[in-house]
Structure 1
Amino acid sequence: MRITCLHTAASNIGVFESAADSLGITADSLRHEVRTDLLGAAELAGGLTEEIAQSTVAALLALTHHADAVVLTCSTLGPAVASATRSTQVPILRTDEALAIDAVQAGGKIVVLCAVETTLEPTSRVFQKAALQTDASVDVRLVPGAWALFKAGDNEGYLSTIARAADRAYGEGASVVALGQASMSGAASRVTAGPTPLTSALAGLKAALKALER
């Protein structure tokens, strides 16, 4: 078994390796490709353009030649998966979609936290689609200032800011908090006002395992 992750931040490698370890996925079964340029281009363009989507599709398809499943870990680029899957038999999965499906299962008020503005639209779309199958309501929120801390290398400040936002969401009546980006995963253990938030790394790898079982 070989699962290959396409990341847009090198720091997500450790996040996914930790999630893989908790699921019993061995280190030699998980590979990583980092394309910071794709998210950087999307940020400059204000979102996912057709050109960036095509570049993402090409990157995903290249990884399928040496993988049993490919996992796209960047929610901004997520919509490109639909095009990529039409050109291969290898499962290509979106971590944000897997997270959305998990989050809405029990219904209730779902608050989804995002750090990057470019991910708000694709994340809202994928969560709203998942919620159609349940009675869940979805509220997608940007955590102000979080991404600037991440880009400045202040991981402590980044995770603390996200954890505070999750605690506020629980204080305002959220049933479930989902951390919309993989880079936010480390904040989950810092949340004290409600259940541990759901993370995309864990959800995405679980989805990959299920796809391989099929």
Structure 2
Amino acid sequence: MDSTNQVIYDFSNLTANEVEIETTDDTDKSTENKVKPKVETPFFELSDYLNGALHEESHYSWSQTFTEIEIHIRLSKNVTSKNLKVNITYTSIDIHAIVDGERTKVLGGQLYDKCKAPDAMWTITGGNKLNISVDKTKEIWWKKLFQHESEIDTKKIDCSRQMNELSDETQAQINQIQFDEQQKLKGQPTSDQIKQQELLRKAWDAEGSPFKGQPFDPNIVQFQN
């Protein structure tokens, strides 16, 4: 080859800072347009099977408190409140859907224990989620919802109870204890001490009282144990 026709490029004088990579708009757009994988939200929430069980293959779950059972069922898109038949007795639940004249079983079976059927309530939320709420006849922890299910480990359930689940008498006692504790911190009389003062005030001006007509001063009265 004739040496006079050779073109020689000399890169010896270039530094690293002089080497630039050009980014085109097409490159940026291709990165932006990448489809991010969609994360599907679970149909049943943790609260839907708290202290109960999740039967995802059968499209339902149940949860419980000490006094109540909640059942959550995933319905087919073609099932609405108009074609849904919910039959709840003291010992069983039977749910069917009638679509295009055909009767299809949604869920059902004999309950683990008795429920207060007349007070049962059900509603459909989110378009296809059937929620059923029933009260227990006895304050016990259910080991399963239906007799045909496997039992849950009741040792692992949260045994704490909400305030509104307690009897009126128990709630009143708890409120009194909390009030007395607050009064002690403030240096104020407790509920029992307030009751004593009210009784003393009534007796102070009663007929035959040696204090009748005098300004009320509970500190001058001594109680005998």
TM-score normalised by length of structure 1: 0.20
Which has the larger strand fraction?
2
Of Structure 1 and Structure 2, the greater helix share is in 1
Scaled by the length of structure 2, the TM-score of the pair is 0.19
Greater relative contact order (Cα < 8 A, sep 6+)? 1
User: In terms of Rg, which structure is larger?
Assistant: 2
